Amino acid sequence: MVKVSQILDELNAKLVCGNTDLNQDINFGFASDLMSDVLTIDSDNLLLVTGLNNLQTIRTSEMSDIPYILFVRDKKASEEMKRLAEESGITLIECGYSMFRACSLLCKMGLEPVY
Share of the chain above pLDDT 70, in %: 100
Rounded distance between C-alpha atoms, residue 110 and residue 9, angstroms = 14
Tens of pLDDT along 24-75? Answer: 899 999 999 999 999 998 888 999 999 999 999 999 999 999 999 999 999 9
Predicted confidence at residue 85, as pLDDT, reads 96
Interacting residues of 9 by C-beta distance below 8 A, sequence separation 6+: none
Rounded distance between C-alpha atoms, residue 106 and residue 23, angstroms = 16
Q: How confident is the model at residue 106 (pLDDT cuts 50, 70, 90)?
A: very high
pTM over 0.85, yes/no: yes
Contact status, residue 26 vs residue 111, Cβ threshold 8 Å: yes
Within a 10 A sphere around the Cβ of 13, how many other Cβ atoms?
19
State the fold for domain 2-113.
Answer: 3.40.1390
* Beta-bridge partner residues of 17: 92
